[in-house]
Amino acid sequence: MTQPTPIRRSRAPRLLDAFCCQGGAAMGYAHAGFDVTGIDKDPQPRYPFTFIQGDAIEFIREHGHEFDFIHASPPCQHYSRAQKIQQREHPDLIAPTRAALEAAGRPWVLENVEEAARELRDPVTLCAAAFGMRTYRHRVFETGGGFTFVPPLHPAHWAPLTKMGRPRAAGHFAHYVGNFSGVAEARIDMRVPWMNRECIHPAYTRHIATAFLTARLGVAA
């Protein structure tokens, strides 16, 4: 009797989530099928995946080559308008993070706030409204290691934006940044119920992850 040929299942691609915080970005990759590991200098008890506490840049240099894809979100405070108004000093980590990513030799994205676009190389902008949210929340992504992706169509900003710190008015979009009202609504709108601070929307990274996996299958074929 002929025995059935066993089905060979490939392992899930490994994702390194650098400067991971509470895992908003990580969740999008997990939904796309990645095996996620996060690295952050601070304890992250809310992080929903494998977590390592340590220096993200050093970890990329030492272990980045062990992963299939790397997502890096160095702290944005150096570039954000809110922090500049408060006149606080914060480290500029984009250049050293990029150097570590390039040395790792793996496909990667480097993410930050819109104000950091001038520090990034040919960044791609993602808008939350393109993913059905009631906020605009632009984020910019530099790509490398042979990886690129095409953003979804950027919709017109037709809805007024409620000012930061105020409850979202009827018919308005919200401003989910800093100290804002409506945390419960933000969690629902951004689909991050476990989090208590702002983050990258998982829809952004799921879009990126899908582009990577599609390209990978195309190369494999």
Digit-coded pLDDT (tens) for 68-97 = 999 999 986 555 555 544 555 556 899 999
Average pLDDT over residues 108-135: 89
- Read out DSSP for 29-82? HHHTT-EEEEEESS--TT--SEEEES-HHHHHHHHGGGSSEEEE----TTT-HH
Distance between CA atoms of 55 and 37, rounded to whole angstroms? 14
In a domain, 214, yes or no: yes
Q: What pLDDT does 1 receive?
A: 36
CB 153 within 8 A of CB 127: no
CB 199 within 8 A of CB 21: yes
In a domain, 68, yes or no: yes
Average pLDDT over residues 34-62: 97
In a domain, 51, yes or no: yes
Q: What pLDDT does 75 receive?
A: 87
Query: What is the number of structural domains in the chain?
Result: 1
Give the domain CATH number at 121: 3.40.50.150
In a domain, 190, yes or no: no
Domain span at 31:
14-152+200-220
- Other Cβ atoms closer than 10 A to 153: 7
Q: Provide the percentage of residues in the chain whose pLDDT is more than 70.
A: 69
In a domain, 134, yes or no: yes
In a domain, 205, yes or no: yes
In a domain, 1, yes or no: no
Distance between CA atoms of 100 and 183, rounded to whole angstroms? 35
In a domain, 91, yes or no: yes
Q: What pLDDT does 219 receive?
A: 53
> Listing from the earlier edge strand, what are the strands of the sheet with 50-53?
50-53, 35-40, 14-18, 69-72, 108-113, 139-144, 124-126
pLDDT digits (tens, 9 = 90+) for 155-193: 888 777 676 666 676 767 666 665 445 566 666 556 665
